Amino acid sequence: MTQPPKGRRALVTGSFQGIGLAIAEALAAEHCHLVLHGLGNAEQQEAACQAVTKAGAMSVECHSHDLSDPRQVESLMKAALSGGALDILVNNAGIQQPAPLADVPADVWDRILAINLSAAFHTMKAAMPGMAARGYGRVVNIASVHGLVASVNKAPYVAAKFGLIGLSKVAALEYASAGSREQGGVTVNCICPGWTETAIIEPQIMARAAQLGGDRDAGARELLREKQPSQRTSQPLEIGQLVAWLSHPIAHNITGTAIPIDGGWTSQ
């Protein structure tokens, strides 16, 4: 079993835009059935469905559950699994709200941990037993360089991403012996992007720009210069292609990893 089979079902959270949509498109190109999720408006949802269909998805369905609420995560998984078993689960949904630790409101801490970490626990708990029973499954959790190294003013985000990598390693160990080379096995991996061209970094770019006379390009360069030695951002499609490859049967022995796409950030 060396080629990815057609007709796999994949759930990608936070997939109406940005990295999540790029991941969904990459899986659609391999003729997966896609289950999209997000909290965007009707226009964003429709645009995402059209993009994934154009990319080659065999079918598309959309859900808009609030992942900060465990009951809604449970409802999402029931809805997703009602359409058939999930072969691929990508936990991409995430939020960030930078502030000094002493200034972080308790409700912000709770919401960031709920969406960025606890939701992944609940989706994995629901999906992985079925993967093990079939001998094939892929979980890819989109962590961050901030799951490997810390930065100031990001206490809840860093805590959640470090936790997500730890959770993924435990799940990888627990399911490492499920399935076979021929079936494809069950793997759990994290991808750890550095600065990537998405909406989540825009407030940080603009904060730097404000210090440099409002020049957005200068703000982006300053942000990159501080952390990312390549001086280049990543594109969401690059993350999507890695998810697609990790989901191939040939990647059956790649599990428990945290793979940086960070231009050398975490090598310093």
Q: Which residues are catalytic?
A: 157
With helix as H, strand as E and coil as C, how does the chain read? CCCCCCCCEEEECCCCCHHHHHHHHHHHCCCCEEEEECCCCHHHHHHHHHHHHHHCCCEEEEECCCCCCHHHHHHHHHHHHHCCCCCEEEECCCCCCCECHHHCCHHHHHHHHHHHHHHHHHHHHHHHHHHHHHCEEEEEEECCHHHCCCCCCEHHHHHHHHHHHHHHHHHHHHCCCCCCCCCCEEEEEEEEECCECCHHHHHHHHHHHHHCCCCHHHHHHHHHHHHCCCCCCECHHHHHHHHHHHCCHHHCCCCCCEEEECCCHHHC
Separation CA 46–CA 151 (nearest Å): 36
